[in-house]
Amino acid sequence: MSQQANEAVSAPGAHARVATFDVKAFEHYRFRIDAVDQADAANARGLVGKLEFLAADGRTLAAPADGSIRTDRHGTVVYLPTHAGDDAAPWSENRVTAPAESVQVRVTVRNWKCSPQVVIAGALEMRHESVPELFSDTFPVRGGVPYRLDLVLSDAAKVDRAALVIVQYLTAAGAAVPGPYPGCLVSDQFGHYRYLSANTRGALTRILLGVPADAATLRLTVRRWRSQNDALELTAPPIIELDVPATMVAPEWDMLPTSGWSAPYPLPEEGAGLMDLSLVRGANLSSDEAIPAMAAQFLDAAGIPIPVLLNDLDGVERQTLPLSAPDHEGRSHAFLWRPEAAVSIRLGTAGATTRYVLVRNDLRARNVIDQPMLHAGYTVLLPGEHTEARCNASPRWSAGVTVDAFMSVQAVRRALSLQIAFQDATGKALNPKGTMTNTDGTTVIYSDSSVFVTLPDLPTGSPGLVHANATLRLLPPPGTATLTVRMSGPESRVLVAALRMRGFDAMHEDRMSPDAVADLLPLEEQSVESARLLARQLQGRYPQELRVQTHLLDAFRRLGEIDDIERVARQALATSGTATAKLRLKARVALGSIQELDTGWLPMVGMAPPRNALSALPQEGALRVAHLFKTTVPVENTGGAIRCLNIVNFQRKAGMLPLVVTPLGYPARGGSGTPWEKELIDQVPYFRLNCVGNDELRVVPTPVQLDFTAMLTTRLLVQEGVDVIQASSGYRGYEQALVGLSVSRALGVPFVYEVRSYHEHTWRALSDWVLDAPHTRRRIEQENRCMREADAVVTICETMKAGLVERGIPPEKVFVVPNSVDLEHFATPAQESVDALRGSLGLGQGPVVGYISNVSMREGHHVLLRAVAQAHAQGVAIQCLVVGKGRELVQLRRLAQELGIQSSVFFTGEVPHEQISAYYSLIDIFVVPRVTDFASDYVTPMKPFEAMAMRRPLVVSDRPALIEIVGENEERGLIFPAGDHVALAQRLVELVCEPVRAEAIVKAAREWIETSRSWAGTIKTYENVYAFARQRAAARRRDVGAQG
pLDDT confidence band for 8 (50 / 70 / 90): very low
Q: pLDDT confidence of 333, banded at 50, 70, 90? A: confident
Share of the chain above pLDDT 90, in %: 34
pLDDT digits (tens, 9 = 90+) for 161-174: 888 899 999 999 98
- Asked which of 105-109, 392-396, 766-770 is least confident by mean pLDDT, the reply is 766-770
User: Can you give the pLDDT at residue 521?
Assistant: 87
Task: In whole angstroms, give the CA distance from residue 885 to residue 908.
Answer: 8
CATH topology of domain 368-509: Jelly Rolls (2.60.120)
Is 4's pLDDT higher than 60?
Answer: no
Q: Does 494 score more than 60 pLDDT?
A: no
Higher-confidence residue of 560 and 332: namely 560
Instruction: Please list the residue range(s) of the chain that carry CATH number 2.60.40.
Output: 17-129
Q: What is the CATH number of domain 512-597?
A: 1.25.40
Q: Answer yes or no: are the C-beta atoms of 905 and 844 closer than 8 Å.
A: no
Residue 250 pLDDT greater than 80, yes or no: no
- Of 416, 334, 337, 418, whose CA–CA distance to 373 is shortest? 337
Does 307 have pLDDT greater than 90? no
> What average pLDDT score do residues 314-325 get?
56
Residues of the chain with CATH 3.40.50.2000: 622-816, 831-1013
Q: Which residues does 557 contact at the CB level (< 8 Å), separation at least 6?
A: 565, 590, 593
Q: Do residues 257 and 162 touch, judged by C-beta distance below 8 A?
A: no
Q: In angstroms, rounded to a whole number, what is the distance separating the alpha carbons of residues 954 and 928?
A: 8
Mean pLDDT of 31-57: 92
| Residue 647 one-letter amino acid | I
Q: Are strands 879-883 and 848-852 parallel, antiparallel or unpaired?
A: parallel
pLDDT at 665 over 50: yes
Is the pLDDT reported for residue 29 higher than 60?
yes
- Percent of the chain past pLDDT 70, that is, above it, reads 84
Give the per-residue pLDDT at 618.
Answer: 46
- Residue with the bigger pLDDT between 723 and 214: it is 723
* pLDDT of 994: 82
Place 309 in a pLDDT band, splitting at 50, 70 and 90.
very low
Average pLDDT score, the chain: 83
Q: What are phi and psi of 960, to 5 degrees?
A: -55, -45
Give 717-740 pLDDT, tens digit per residue.
999 999 999 999 988 989 999 999
CB atoms near residue 148 (< 10 Å): 16
pLDDT at 150 over 60: yes
Q: For residues 213 and 918, which has the higher predicted lDDT (pLDDT)?
A: 918
Closest CA to 394 of 418, 432, 422: 422
> Cα separation of 765 and 761, whole Å?
8
As annotated, the residues of the chain forming the CATH 1.25.40 domain(s) are 512-597
Name residues whose C-beta falls within 8 Å of residue 410's C-beta, 6 or more positions apart in sequence. 324, 325, 464
| Bigger pLDDT: 989 vs 711 | 711
- 410 — pLDDT class (breaks 50, 70, 90): low
Return residue ranges of the chain for CATH 2.60.120.
Answer: 133-241, 368-509
Average pLDDT over residues 336-353: 73
Greater confidence (357 vs 164) lies with 164
Cα–Cα distance for residue pair 406/497, rounded to 1 Å: 6
Q: How confident is the model at residue 67 (pLDDT cuts 50, 70, 90)?
A: confident
| pLDDT tier at 376, thresholds 50, 70, 90 | very low
Q: What is the mean pLDDT of residues 319-323?
A: 64
Return d(Cα 275, Cα 372) in angstroms, integer. 10
For position 638, what pLDDT does the model report? 81
- Cα–Cα nearest to 66, from 123, 140, 160, 133: 133
pLDDT of residue 753: 97
**Helical H segments across 975-1014, by residue range:** 981-993, 995-1012
Is 453:440 a contact under the CB 8 Å cutoff?
no
Residue range 460-491, pLDDT digits in tens: 666 666 777 888 999 999 999 999 998 765 44
Which H helix or E strand runs over 325? none
Mean pLDDT of 641-663: 94
Q: State the pairing for strand pair 125-129/28-32.
A: antiparallel
Question: Which of 466, 453, 527 lies closest to 497, judged by CA?
Answer: 466
Greater model confidence, 273 or 910: 910
Q: Which residues pair with 152 in a beta bridge?
A: 204
- Residues 978 and 974: their CA atoms lie apart, in Å, by 12
pLDDT at 126 over 90: yes
Q: How far does the chain reach from its first CA to its final CA, in angstroms?
A: 95
| Residue 1024 pLDDT > 50 | yes
When pLDDT is cut at 50, 70 and 90, the band that residue 131 belongs to is: low
Across the range 263-272, mean pLDDT stands at 80
List of E strands, 424-475? 443-446, 451-455, 458-459, 465-474
Q: What confidence tens digit (pLDDT) does each residue in 813-872 have?
A: 999 999 998 988 887 888 888 888 888 998 887 899 999 988 888 899 999 998 998 888
Each residue's pLDDT tens digit, 412-467: 445 677 889 999 999 999 999 888 888 777 888 888 899 888 887 776 666 666 77
Spatial separation of the C-alpha atoms in residues 82 and 119, rounded to whole Å: 9
Q: Is domain 831-1013 in CATH 3.40.50.2000, yes or no? A: yes
| CATH of span 17-129 | 2.60.40
pLDDT band at 757 (very low <50, low <70, confident <90, very high): confident
* Cβ–Cβ under 8 Å, residues 755 and 1025: no
**Cα separation, 130 vs 132, whole angstroms:** 6
pLDDT at 748 over 50: yes
Is 738 buried (19+), middle (13-18) or exposed (0-12) by CB count in 10 A?
buried
**Range name among 317-326, 601-610, 936-945, 952-961 with the lowest pLDDT average:** 317-326
Hey, which CATH number is domain 133-241, 2.60.120, 2.60.40, 1.20.5, 3.40.1000?
Answer: 2.60.120
> What is the architecture of the domain spanning 622-816?
3-Layer(aba) Sandwich (3.40)
Q: Are 755 and 640 in contact (CB under 8 A)?
A: no
Q: Residue 1029: how many CA atoms within 13 Å on its side-chain side?
A: 31
Backbone CA torsion sign across 854, 855, 857, 859: positive
Greater confidence (411 vs 274) lies with 274
Q: Do residues 76 and 51 lie in contact, with contact meaning Cβ atoms separated by under 8 Å?
A: yes
Q: Average pLDDT in the 898-919 region?
A: 87
Helix (H, G, I), strand (E, B) or coil at 355: coil
User: What pLDDT sits at residue 678?
Assistant: 92
* Between residues 32 and 456, the one the model is more confident about: 32
pLDDT at 954: 95
**DSSP conformational letter for 18:** E
Choose the weakest-confidence range: 155-159, 346-350, 614-618, 786-790: 614-618
